[in-house]
Structure 1
Amino acid sequence: MLRMGSPAPSIKVGDWLRGEPLADFQPGKVYIVEFWATWCELCAAEMLELMQLQEKYKDSGLEVVGIAADEDAPTAVEGRTKLDAWLAEKCHLTHRIAFDFTGEMKKLWREPSFCVRIPTSFVVDRDGCIAFIGHPSQLGEVLPKVLNGSWSTSKKAKAADHERIATSEPLAREQALKKPMDDRFWAAVKLEDWKTALWAIEEGIALMPDDLNFRLAHAHLLLHKTQDMWTGLPVMRQLVRDAIDRNSEDWMVSALDQLFHPANDHSRLPPAERFAMGKELSEHILALNPPQGDSPKFRSYPAVARYYHENGNNDRAIELVEVALTSLDGPEPIPAELKEQHLPHLLQALAKYRGARACCGALFAAAQNNFPKVPKRGRPRRKDREG
């Protein structure tokens, strides 16, 4: 097990994309080893903050090392191409960045520490030992104490590490159980072998019936790939029912996307039942996260707006997208990178529903479904996503 106080593993990567290669951790220095990926919207937001931390504490011996070990690409060459394009866009980043496609860094760092999600930060202290493992949002509190030597001896540090392991170990073991099924599923998807993909997902559901990703993949394969409505509609009904019973915004939005996302073909779905499920999901989402509340709206409201737009209530769709846009500058701070990712899509939706150009600062979207010229972002990771 890799935990607070453990000697830091070595860094074994295929390529160094920014900065000089790091062979060993130098005594007397403190390092942040950050695992991230271009498709992870939270990671993109954190990268700038990590660079700012390095600049702030460089005289205290801090160095940041970014490890891209989760690129969503079939080959190392394609993964490297994605990274190079992303980094060319982020020319202001100055800290070391490495690329590992072999999985070696996962084996050395993430698996022994039960870290299945990204972004994840490891802080290595001046003695070359692990001082902290966790989300980079916690570094503002932790890092100054690591730098002055007071963190590792504090009761708070020990309690935090104990809680992290207690929480992460079951999730890591669950991910290990899922991996063979995930691998078979994605190999079948690549070949468009939907029968084999279904077998893999049904095996996963039998093992973990409450796993949202398995449940979504099951509905998606039946409704949108094999177009088996006889089997798929009962699966979709149960997904909607379970999402509502859980009162989970994530589950409800995911189910709504299966019914109304424009990337899916809904032509074979019975319209009356499709809209009935959409109405129930939308009403529950709005009750859970009402327009007048302070909770972020930019993730869930676009899905609800799509339902109202298709159902003929265009004014309601416009209203919801406008609320989502306002929530980007709400009382809960949203990282600039995250705002930059969601803003163009919200503007495009608003322009579509208004039938007129929509603007926000220098960004705009035209009514004819044209996306504004903005930097390309990664899509959600098929696994190991930030929760």
Structure 2
Amino acid sequence: MKKNLCCLILPALFALGMVSTIHGADLGDKAAKLSIAKWVKGEAVDVTDGKNIYVVEFWATWCPPCRASIPHLTKLQKKFADKGVVFVGISDEDEETVTPFVNKMGKDMDYRVAIDQNDKTSKAYMAAYGINGIPHAFVVDKAGRIVWHGHPMADLEKTLQAIVDGKYDLEKTRKRLKAEELFQKFVQTVAEGGEKEKIDAMGAELEALDKELGGVMPDGSRFNAAEVTRIIQFQMLLEKYEEALDENPASAKKMEAELVKLAPKDWSLEDHKVDTQFRKDFTDYYAAVGRRPDKLKAASLRTKLTESTTKNAMLLNDFSWAILTDRNIKERDIPLALNLAEKAVKHSGGTNASVLDTYARALYDSGKKEEAIKQQKLAIKHAKSDQERELFEENLKNFEK
């Protein structure tokens, strides 16, 4: 089991309710016609005409992940345009909201955009498949069937490539989707303290699917029911422990032995305590440099933050980025941001693209332009996705001006 298993389980815990396991539609079912109130960009299309492959994506102007997906969707539309793939973005907002947004995006949102008619299209797609969260995309093949659905930043590109190459395996995708839904249900049942027999049955089914599909975990690693169960129980106990630290320290102390027993091998109670204090200090610091500044308190907390022994690269990175960019911070302590960013690079091994991007920004804001450019190029080198790479390349252009 990989070290980052906790990071894989946590999204499943938070995502409960984003995907419903109770729905009537399945992959391979015929796609519904689009019910459109207004075509904001591009000509109207009929996704059931059998002429093209269609990507129907549900989004909204207020949704940050939706906005982040737009450049990626534009890139995919350009890539697959000559393969007969047509993208349609559908929002349930009014024309007065959508049209100005699309016009402002211009070529960065270079595919068809439409406004749903009284949520009819959303009901025929999103509700039919039990989807509650956006952005979410559906792929309709030339036979008029929905053959894939998921987050547009996930396997959409790989799916389209397989379809146009004639190598797409619908049955395998059905099984993988079933495994994903079962995994969500498994996590929820364990988290809620469900019946052992039910958990064991789901675990056995997931292990069988894992063997057949070559991995059902989000990162492709193998599923082990006992290990995943232990991690979920650990996460639930950790949540109770953190609540008790403030409300009932004596009760929290009693939980520590069980926490250590359930914890992953790479987890340390002492490190966790350091990280918890670091979070608390930054929360207080954030308030002290925000809308009601308190310079004396901020100075005291600054010392605590710089002297912290935390090795949590993501915490260091996030707090550095907040100091550099958060609008609520009125006076930016760039030296502090640089200090935290340098530590984040150190504790992440110097290969985490997001951390390097933050470090480059801290260097640039410190007046160290050449070093910032060097680190930004490293961030681009280590980027894990096209979207991330494009964002970092844009940052590099700004540094080089």
Alignment partner, residue 67 of structure 1? 90
Conservation of the 8 A alpha-carbon contact between 1:36 and 1:43: yes
Distance 1:104 1:42 in 2: 23
Tell me by how many angstroms 1:287 deviates: 2.2
Alignment of 1:147 with 2:164, yes or no, is yes
Structure 2 residue corresponding to 1:329, chosen from 374, 377, 380: 380
Alignment of 1:115 with 2:134, yes or no, is no
Tell me by how many angstroms 1:15 deviates: 2.0
Conservation of the 8 A alpha-carbon contact between 2:58 and 2:89: yes
Alignment of 1:301 with 2:320, yes or no, is yes
Alignment partner, residue 223 of structure 1? none
3-state SS of paired residue (1:143) = helix
1:194-239 Cα distance to aligned partner (Å, 9 max, x none) = xxxxxxxxxxxxxxxx8xxxxxxxxxxxxxxxxxxxxxxx68x9xx
The share of aligned pairs that are identical, in percent, is 21
What TM-score results when the alignment is normalised by the length of structure 1? Answer: 0.52
In the alignment, residue 320 of structure 2 is paired with which amino acid?
Answer: Y
Aligned 1:197-276 pairs, distance under 5 A = 259-261=284-286, 265-266=291-292, 271=297, 275=301
Change beyond 3 A, Cα 1:119–1:167: farther
Distance 1:311 1:58 in 2: 48
1:238-260 Cα distance to aligned partner (Å, 9 max, x none) = xxxxxx98969x99999777544
3-state SS of paired residue (1:360) = helix
3-state SS of paired residue (1:67) = strand
Tell me by how many angstroms 1:23 deviates: 4.1
Which runs of no fewer than 5 residues in structure 2 stay unpaired?
1-22, 189-235, 237-245, 250-267, 342-357, 362-374
Change beyond 3 A, Cα 1:259–1:86: farther
Conservation of the 8 A alpha-carbon contact between 2:380 and 2:389: no
Change beyond 3 A, Cα 1:79–1:100: farther
Alignment of 1:138 with 2:155, yes or no, is yes
3-state SS of paired residue (2:107) = coil
Aligned 1:42-61 pairs, distance under 5 A = 42-61=65-84
Alignment of 1:160 with 2:211, yes or no, is no
Tell me by how many angstroms 1:126 deviates: 1.3
In the alignment, residue 382 of structure 2 is paired with which amino acid?
Answer: P
In the alignment, residue 178 of structure 2 is paired with which amino acid?
Answer: H
Q: State the number of aligned residues.
A: 270
Alignment partner, residue 230 of structure 1? none
3-state SS of paired residue (1:21) = coil
Alignment partner, residue 13 of structure 1? 36
Tell me by how many angstroms 1:323 deviates: 1.1
Distance 1:86 1:51 in 2: 12
Structure 2 residue corresponding to 1:289, chosen from 289, 314, 320: 314
Where relative contact order (Cα < 8 A, 6+ residues apart) is larger, the structure is 1
Change beyond 3 A, Cα 1:253–1:52: farther
Structure 1 residue corresponding to 2:400, chosen from 319, 344, 361: 361
1:153-201 Cα distance to aligned partner (Å, 9 max, x none) = 453x1332212333567999xxxxxxxxxxxxxxxxxxxxxxxxxxxxx
Structure index of larger Rg: 2
Change beyond 3 A, Cα 1:305–1:281: farther
Tell me by how many angstroms 1:113 deviates: 1.9
In the alignment, residue 287 of structure 1 is paired with which amino acid?
Answer: N
Distance 1:33 1:125 in 2: 11
Conservation of the 8 A alpha-carbon contact between 2:61 and 2:101: no
Distance 2:177 2:33 in 1: 21
In the alignment, residue 157 of structure 2 is paired with which amino acid?
Answer: G
Q: Which moved more, 1:102-111 or 1:161-170?
A: 161-170
Change beyond 3 A, Cα 1:161–1:138: same
Which runs of no fewer than 5 residues in structure 1 stay unpaired?
173-209, 211-233, 238-243, 292-296, 345-358, 363-387
In the alignment, residue 37 of structure 1 is paired with which amino acid?
Answer: A
1:262-296 Cα distance to aligned partner (Å, 9 max, x none) = 7954569x949x94998499764x524387xxxxx
3-state SS of paired residue (1:289) = helix
Conservation of the 8 A alpha-carbon contact between 2:74 and 2:108: no
Distance 1:104 1:124 in 2: 17
1:86-130 Cα distance to aligned partner (Å, 9 max, x none) = 433323543211123844433222233233333322111111111
Tell me by how many angstroms 1:33 deviates: 0.9
Distance 1:252 1:16 in 2: 52
3-state SS of paired residue (1:3) = coil
- Give 1 or 2: higher helix fraction: 2
Change beyond 3 A, Cα 1:63–1:331: same
Distance 1:282 1:101 in 2: 54
1:336-372 Cα distance to aligned partner (Å, 9 max, x none) = 664489x59xxxxxxxxxxxxxx7133xxxxxxxxxx
Change beyond 3 A, Cα 1:28–1:89: closer
Distance 1:130 1:45 in 2: 24
RMSD: 5.2
